[in-house]
Amino acid sequence: MRTYTIRLDDRFFELLEDLSKRTKSPKSLIVKKALLLYKRELEKQEMLKNLIESARELANDPENLRDIEELEGTVTDGLG
């Protein structure tokens, strides 16, 4: 395991201390969890960005719209 030193202003130092006491968890565990949550949030944002870009690409190509309409027809045929 590696050691990494960070500088925190008083506000964040006190927040970390408070969270550590309230959860009875080591400060390092709180920092690890915070990093994992931040990573997950970044991944969600990236996924959303990719979905929006894909939706725009689909919307701008009339052939894609025909494919989607055909697929919708196929799906609803199977439900009848």
Mean pLDDT, 10 residues at a time, the chain of 80 residues: 94 98 97 98 94 82 74 63
Question: Rounded CA gap, 61 and 73, in Å?
Answer: 19
pTM here is 0.67
Mean pLDDT (the chain, rounded): 87
Residue 79's pLDDT is what? 58
Would you state the structure tokens that stand for residue 52, as one six-digit string?
A: 């929006």
Find the largest Cα–Cα distance for the chain. Answer: 65
